[in-house]
Structure 1
């Protein structure tokens, strides 16, 4: 269990930790001289539950609330200290508000300096504390009178903390590793050491990790968990990691960095989140409101963009947080906002989407998606997101941004239909997948009905006609599935239903029958050009070209060059002629001149024909020589 102290300056937090653990958490000379905590302090003790409880001692002065926030993230229980002589003070209230915003709902109230108050004063301050806790997550927390001077109540407090430690549940071990760095230093003989709370997962000696947001690769050389050397550190523990690697140094790693599983490295500078504004805030939160954002031990400048109307004091709503610098975070992380002068806490909330869009961020569809994503359970969130526009989720991003481990990822993949495109895995609900396949087949059927003379639509045209509109790589996977199932036939760049047969209109069929003799007979190797036929017959060239293109799609003719069409039977016959010339050639290679002489055509047209076969893979080319590719010789029935 990790215990975090909270409370006003000089209310005895550090002294209480010293009595409980035997460790002086004030480690800086200035702290000892001034008698106040400036930096985070850490201490550890076995309180009697058989485990090691870690204590994070935070500053109480208003100037160091940002340091308090660095230590408050990741604690299991708050030890709120209120001096019996002073009672509830401003920093008591602010620390309590911060704990509430961070979701810390387990706590013990230590009524410190009890030796300085009589029973009446104790009762008065206890009532004051109860009133202050009302409406917060710590409402009803036990209030225990204690004195670091006389020892009064210390054993009772120790027992209460031990019972709380025994009841503390293990954190998310099934998630990937994340540690929020609050200190980085160099240790003689060891090198760079970072400390922090393990937020999720586990890490072992020898593991490769990434320091985010910088993206610095490192290897774990040694681990101390709860102040003891171990081979593996787990979620919920305070750990010190001895790191090694190129560029790894105390100056390269800072408070607020995140040491994590390399698969999770994807920092964000634009995040959609929930925000609860404290009732003490003096004015509404409008668009582009400046603030300082605290998440884990990180602090970064931010601008707040409400996703509806301005948020009034005491209100809660969705906002977009535009950050001054990238942040390593996870969906579900809690954060705190303070004003830019660091004088007051504005509010806080939970990260909902780490990949927030800069545009169309307030559309009804976007609001539905955020409402779905805000559900705390990953599987419920995924199902809700798949039921809301745009009805698909990049499953890889969803899993990464929630730091989910392999087992959880496998469960999610089983709860959806996943189009695995290698670089991305697009998830759809079973209903959406079924509707999408139905819409694909209906769109092809409608196209065939409206244009029976056409082979079918192109792949991109079909993709753009469907809703939801899949990314190109995901659509390619879906299409491949349907082709393999026999629902769709692909012919080059065009798609059709298996039952569709291309038919020309009566007028187009009549024009084709007029063209056919020009491509047949003795002149079959020397057909007229499209424009020559159109000129001779005094009809639009576009009509002749259109009919020939449709005939090519039907497999009746082949377009050798822009202006030359050959009957498919002629195309196959010429493959046989190339094979004959090749067999007669001493070296087994065909020249353009030899082929030209056989088909009695001009050299230019002969080369165009051979180039066509090169493009189709029917012939293999070496300089100006060709030979039949045995693997494609039957492409035209040869």
Structure 2
């Protein structure tokens, strides 16, 4: 269990922690000289059997609220301190408001310096504190008079903390690892050490981790968990990690960073959230309201954009937070907003969508999606998201932003009754019901197309994709079509899609003519075949008839018209795609010139350029000036080039 102190300056928080643990958490010379806490302090004690209880002692001065916030984000249990001689003060109320906004509902109130107050004063103060707690998550917290000077109440307080420690449910170690950094320093002979609270998952010796949002990579050399050397650190523990790696230093890693499993690194600076505005605010929160954003141990400038209407004091609603720098975060994380002059706390809430859109953020469709995304249970959220436009969920982003393990993700998929479409590295979910509708719609569109165009090979794949709901990304759509093909419901032929029963045939005379032409399109001539006029001269046939038959063969997928009246057999087109792939693979930065391709096909420069321009039009290659690059997403148009393993449904 992690206990966090809270309360006004000079109300005895640090002295109380020392009385409980024997540790003076004021470690800085300035703290000793001024007699106040400036930085976060840490202490540990055993109150319940072998369990180690950690303490985070926070400063009470209003100038150091940002430091208090850096420590408050990772606590399980609040120890709110009120001095008997001073009573409730501004920072008492602000610290309590922050604890409430963070959703902390376990804790107690210690009335310190009880030896300086008469019984009547203590009774009166307890009533006043009870009234202050009444509207918060800590409404049922016990109020206990103590004195660090005389020892009054210290043993009962230890007993309460021991009971709370025993009642603490160990945080699940499932999910991916996240640790919020609150301190960074260098130890001689060890290197960089960071400390913080593990928010989720676990970490072990030798694990590779990433510093987010910077993206630095590190390896864990040693671990101290709850002030003890350990081989693993788990969610809910305070840990010190000795990190090593290129550019890792105490200057490069510090308060505000998260140390995470590399799969979680996806910084964001635009977030949709649920915000509660404190009653103490003087006016409503309107568009682009400036504030300071506090999340975990991080702080950033922010602009607040209400998504429905201005938020009045004491109200709550959905907002978009536009930050002045990227942060590392996860769905459901709590945040606090303070005014730009750091004089007061405005409100706080929880993060809902880490990938908020710049445009149409207030549209009805977007708000419906945000309502679905706001559900805390992963399975319920996934089911709700699949029931609103765009009826499709990116599972990679869903699992990452909710810090789900693969087992947790599979449980959510089963709960939501969803199918998954795999197009590595992408994974998308679609509801089973909507997937069946998707399949039926495909059949309807293909049937209508064949009825209207009986002489065409099939409908273009991209044209078909744009008519479908949900509109899948191209790689995922191809994977979905392959699922349909495996089930025998359609046929994929390069860039075209048709029903299994649809087939355009040449008549006997046309087949005879194609049989005469085909040998000239193959073997040594395949990269420079004759043109239509050349066939007409060689075969002594009408040029228009040869052109008609070759165009019909192009509709059947037998040949491709690379340039007007210049046809290449489909197998040669696929072979040239492989050549382009190989040329690009051996070129610097993957960029190649027309000359590189011409040399491989042993062709003239003019014909080589015509071939490459054909592939430019098909999207297989992307031209930038005099060089080209391969587009990996279009390599499958002429056979299985670049497709790798066939994606499917799970």
Question: SS in structure 2 opposite 1:52?
Answer: strand
Structure 2 residue 80 is the aligned partner of structure 1 residue 88: no
Task: Deviation per CA, 1:340-396: give whole Å up to 9, x if none.
Answer: 100010111111111111112111111111111111111211111111111111101
Residue 47 of structure 1, CA deviation: 1.4
1:493 alignment counterpart? 495
Q: Is the 8 A contact 2:48 2:165 kept in 1?
A: no
Question: SS in structure 1 opposite 2:466?
Answer: helix
CA distance in 1, matches of 2:68, 2:560: 77
2:405 alignment counterpart? 405
CA distance in 1, matches of 2:500, 2:551: 21
CA distance in 1, matches of 2:239, 2:368: 39
Of stretches 82-91 and 71-80 in structure 1, the one that deviates more from structure 2 is 82-91
CA distance in 2, matches of 1:204, 1:527: 67
Structure 2 residue 391 is the aligned partner of structure 1 residue 385: no
Q: Is the 8 A contact 1:519 1:567 kept in 2?
A: no
Task: Deviation per CA, 1:96-116: give whole Å up to 9, x if none.
Answer: 110011010111010111111
Backbone CA RMSD of aligned residues? 3.2
Residue 288 of structure 1, CA deviation: 1.2
CA distance in 2, matches of 1:460, 1:237: 51
Task: Deviation per CA, 1:137-164: give whole Å up to 9, x if none.
Answer: 0002100011111111111111011101
Task: Deviation per CA, 1:604-631: give whole Å up to 9, x if none.
Answer: 9xx99xx99xx9xxxxxxxxxxxxxxxx
CA distance in 1, matches of 2:447, 2:344: 64
CA distance in 2, matches of 1:565, 1:466: 32
Question: SS in structure 1 opposite 2:435?
Answer: helix
Q: In 2 relative to 1, CA 130–449 (structure 1 residues): closer, same or farther, beyond 3 Å?
A: same
Residue 555 of structure 1, CA deviation: 7.5
Q: In 2 relative to 1, CA 155–444 (structure 1 residues): closer, same or farther, beyond 3 Å?
A: same
Task: Deviation per CA, 1:160-199: give whole Å up to 9, x if none.
Answer: 1110110011113111111100000011221111010011
Residue 450 of structure 1, CA deviation: 2.2
CA distance in 2, matches of 1:112, 1:442: 76
Question: SS in structure 2 opposite 1:343?
Answer: coil
2:434 alignment counterpart? 432
CA distance in 2, matches of 1:549, 1:343: 76
Q: Is the 8 A contact 1:47 1:162 kept in 2?
A: yes
Q: Is the 8 A contact 1:278 1:313 kept in 2?
A: yes
1:288 alignment counterpart? 288
Q: In 2 relative to 1, CA 117–451 (structure 1 residues): closer, same or farther, beyond 3 Å?
A: same
Task: Deviation per CA, 1:411-468: give whole Å up to 9, x if none.
Answer: 2354521111112101111112111111111110111122223222100000001011
CA distance in 2, matches of 1:365, 1:249: 46
Structure 2 residue 482 is the aligned partner of structure 1 residue 480: yes
- Which ranges of structure 1 fall in alignment gaps of 5 or more residues? 534-540, 569-603, 616-638
Task: Deviation per CA, 1:566-604: give whole Å up to 9, x if none.
Answer: 999xxxxxxxxxxxxxxxxxxxxxxxxxxxxxxxxxxx9
Structure 2 residue 189 is the aligned partner of structure 1 residue 189: yes
Q: Is the 8 A contact 1:290 1:340 kept in 2?
A: yes
Question: SS in structure 1 opposite 2:68?
Answer: helix
1:420 alignment counterpart? 422
Q: Is the 8 A contact 1:5 1:81 kept in 2?
A: yes
2:63 alignment counterpart? 63
Q: Is the 8 A contact 2:44 2:52 kept in 1?
A: yes
The 5 Å alignment of 1:421-570 reads 421-502=423-504, 529=533, 549-550=551-552, 552-554=554-556, 562-563=564-565
Question: SS in structure 1 opposite 2:98?
Answer: helix
CA distance in 1, matches of 2:36, 2:515: 102
CA distance in 2, matches of 1:397, 1:179: 20
2:588 alignment counterpart? none
Q: In 2 relative to 1, CA 88–499 (structure 1 residues): closer, same or farther, beyond 3 Å?
A: same
2:139 alignment counterpart? 139
Q: In 2 relative to 1, CA 25–156 (structure 1 residues): closer, same or farther, beyond 3 Å?
A: same
CA distance in 1, matches of 2:141, 2:511: 94
The 5 Å alignment of 1:593-608 reads none
CA distance in 2, matches of 1:362, 1:557: 50
CA distance in 2, matches of 1:37, 1:566: 80
Residue 490 of structure 1, CA deviation: 2.3
CA distance in 2, matches of 1:133, 1:344: 19
Q: Is the 8 A contact 2:43 2:56 kept in 1?
A: yes
Residue 471 of structure 1, CA deviation: 0.2
Question: SS in structure 1 opposite 2:47?
Answer: coil
TM-score (norm 2): 0.81
CA distance in 2, matches of 1:17, 1:545: 92
Task: Deviation per CA, 1:519-573: give whole Å up to 9, x if none.
Answer: 9999x9999759x99xxxxxxx9x99788634642579986963378999xxxxx
TM-score (norm 1): 0.82
Q: Is the 8 A contact 1:40 1:56 kept in 2?
A: yes
The 5 Å alignment of 1:134-213 reads 134-213=134-213
The 5 Å alignment of 1:582-621 reads none
Q: Is the 8 A contact 1:284 1:313 kept in 2?
A: yes
Question: SS in structure 2 opposite 1:65?
Answer: helix
1:578 alignment counterpart? none
2:111 alignment counterpart? 111
- Which ranges of structure 2 fall in alignment gaps of 5 or more residues? 521-529, 538-543, 571-602, 615-650
Q: Is the 8 A contact 2:418 2:431 kept in 1?
A: yes
Task: Deviation per CA, 1:492-514: give whole Å up to 9, x if none.
Answer: 3221111224489xxxx9xx99x
CA distance in 1, matches of 2:139, 2:566: 87
Q: In 2 relative to 1, CA 465–73 (structure 1 residues): closer, same or farther, beyond 3 Å?
A: same
CA distance in 2, matches of 1:557, 1:220: 58
Q: Is the 8 A contact 1:106 1:141 kept in 2?
A: yes
Q: Is the 8 A contact 2:278 2:346 kept in 1?
A: yes
Task: Deviation per CA, 1:176-233: give whole Å up to 9, x if none.
Answer: 1111000000112211110100111111111111111111111111111111111111
Aligned length: 560
1:270 alignment counterpart? 270
CA distance in 2, matches of 1:529, 1:222: 77
